[in-house]
Amino acid sequence: MEIKFSGDFVVKKKPEEVYSFLADPKKFCPLLPDYQGMEVVDAKNFLVKLSVGISHIRGTAAVKMNLAQAEAGKRAVYEGRGDVPGGSATLRAGFELQAAGNGETKVTWSGQSSVVGRIASLAGGLLEPLAKKNVQKLIDGLQRALS
């Protein structure tokens, strides 16, 4: 099951400041819904742990993340792969930054996630609305943190 997301928002920070926040998993990851913790492997790789659950399938997801594209002040793209209770998931989340004048930055974000395994078949139509709700929580958190 593949789910895609996208949107944009404007914050009163310069692109370099926004990039600095987005490219630092220690700042960015705690904003993830149901965040439990993280372990930095090196400058571009880290492991994030999230509490996940739908219906009677609950547990901790361990997702290996990589800062796949990093262009200071312009772009940060993450890719990840991990095990979730009852399956596995891959994801990609990208942030494009553009100066919007007056020291503001327009952040255009997009992402996609693919979930396979028993969880995808058991969750059925619940998975996409839950994922969209959690993505919106993350974006709201990012906007607050960058304001």
Q: What is the mean pLDDT of residues 62-83?
A: 94
Residue 95 predicted with pLDDT over 70: yes
Domain ranges of the chain: 2-146
Tell me, which fold does domain 2-146 have in CATH? Answer: Alpha-D-Glucose-1,6-Bisphosphate; Chain A, domain 4 (3.30.530)
- Structure tokens, 104: 């503001």
Q: What is the distance between the alpha carbons of residues 31 and 135, in angstroms, rounded to a whole number?
A: 10
Confidence (pLDDT) at 67: 95
Tell me the pTM. 0.86
Confidence (pLDDT) at 44: 93
Confidence band, pLDDT 50/70/90 cuts, at residue 27: very high
Count of alpha carbons within 13 Å of 99, Cβ hemisphere only?
A: 7
Residue 119 predicted with pLDDT over 80: no
Secondary structure (3-state) at 146: helix
Calculate the alpha carbon distances from 86 to 11, 89, 135 in Å.
Answer: 38, 10, 21
